[in-house]
Structure 1
């Protein structure tokens, strides 16, 4: 009887349920996107279960979902860790963003409303404020939200979800290949882009988005680390 009563206490007062799991998934993904959890960081099931007050089985399901979203890597016998994108994966992500986000701009320009433009401007403003305050992790979150919100205006939920995942992966790429203090996105770019969309100029918005994404990629130092043989003479020589 006592053994049966111990299990709920280990899971915590919030228990294991779909809503609770969604909240935990969001908390972990936000920490990854905002660089509070760095690429390569180990994510121990027992520690996460204790922090969030849920079962290890629940945490395992959440980590499996994050792995499908390519934010987490699951390795046999080692467990889960925050994904560290390779240089090739980084280039692939930006190629995909060029194709998808640029392709959506004409439809966004056709459909955007006054209220949607105002919402985008608010996001861009909050991003600028975070940058001025030195809160780069928060600015990264707002930048990802801006690009995702923009994609949703086009009206294709499948493509918008894909853009959201690409933005999340871009955050990991920034963490690995970005330069300290440089966000990649220039916040004033977002304001300029909104202006072209409001003018219904899909062609100019497309060209601007392409330059914008190329500028982000160019700001990164995307170099694959090589497995070089160590200079043993230098290390151990007299």
Structure 2
């Protein structure tokens, strides 16, 4: 039995009775997470084309459903939609990567004084929980989960500042950073020491906003310095093989 037959048989057993247009929101969410993880884990490389018909066949859903999922991924800038060419995995350039981290330096460092002043015990507890789950994901080799948890940590920090506009902007920058890290980062870590987030939490808990501001700047510089950026050719991956597991 070849790869496509294996996927088709599994799909038939899991989705019998649903049909291509009756999968529902839960099924679409699972597909969204599968594609997102494949991008972040670099099983789908930057520039890889994502054909709607092939994805619909792989996952056993309608092309309309796949189109909505790709549009959601495009909003998060993990996927690029091009007229007459379709969808492809977003390929951040070196200039875009630098711009993203420069913006993060300006905003996240600037928020640290307010974060240190406003952080409650509950906020500190939540931050420690996220940092712990991030470390566990890294130890377990779950790089996709670790990258997402790192983005969640920075987004949570920004929300504590009390500035909703800047918090939303940071979340968008973290989403773009996740792809940059997935594409250009090193497999073993996220560009920073595993204890960085814990050290930062300690400064915030002690209301040391000035030190937290400096620490955040060095933290983001370390992540950017770890990136290894190179340009690759666009590819047309075998989507059956990517999502066979």
TM-score tier, shorter chain, comes to 0.7 to 0.9
Does 1:75 find its partner at 2:75?
A: no
2:19 to 9, 33, 52: 9
Q: What TM-score does the superposition give when structure 1 sets the normalisation length?
A: 0.79
1:156-198, CA deviations, whole angstroms, 9 ceiling, x for partnerless residues?
3332222122112112212332233232132201001001111
What residue in structure 2 maps to residue 196 of structure 1? 203
1:25 and 1:162 mapped to 2: Cα distance? 22
Aligned to 2:15: none
Which residue number in structure 1 is paired with residue 14 of structure 2? Answer: none
Mean CA deviation greater in 181-190 or 108-117: 181-190
Instruction: Give, in whole Å, the separation in 1 of the partners of 2:27 and 2:139.
Output: 34
Distance in 2, Cα, partners of 1:222 & 1:57? 35
Change (3 A) 1:106 1:113: same
SS in 2 for 1:10: coil
TM superposition shift of 1:36: 4.8
Counterpart position of 1:32: 39
CA contact (8 A) 2:143 2:187 kept: no
How far residue 79 of structure 1 moved from its aligned partner, in angstroms, is 1.2
Q: How much has 1:22 moved relative to structure 2?
A: 6.0
User: Equivalent residues in 2 for 1:1-238 (5 A)?
Assistant: 9-11=19-21, 13-15=22-24, 25=32, 28-51=35-58, 54-222=61-229
RCO (CA 8 Å, sep 6+): is it higher in 1 or 2? 2
Give the unaligned 5+ runs of structure 2.
1-17, 233-245
Per-residue deviation at 1:95?
0.4
Q: Deviation at 1:47?
A: 3.3
Deviation at 1:28, TM superposition (A): 3.8
Question: Which is greater in Rg?
Answer: 1
Structure 2 length normalisation: TM-score? 0.77
- Segments of structure 1 that go 5 or more residues without pairing to the other structure are 1-7, 226-238
Asked whether the 8 Å contact 2:112–2:213 carries over to 1, the reply is: yes
- Please say if residues 39 and 182 of structure 2, whose CA atoms lie closer than 8 Å, have aligned partners that are also in contact: no
CA contact (8 A) 2:37 2:144 kept: no
Secondary structure at the counterpart of residue 110 of structure 2: helix
Task: Look up the SS of the partner of 1:140 in the other structure.
Answer: helix
Provide closer, same or farther for how the CA distance between residues 150 and 34 of structure 1 changes in structure 2, counting only shifts above 3 A. farther
Say if 1:178 and 1:221, in contact at 8 Å, map to a contact too.
yes
Structure 1 contact 32–71 (Cα < 8 Å) conserved: yes
Work out the CA distance in 2 between the residues paired with 1:96 and 1:56.
36
**C-alpha displacement at 1:21, in angstroms?**
5.5
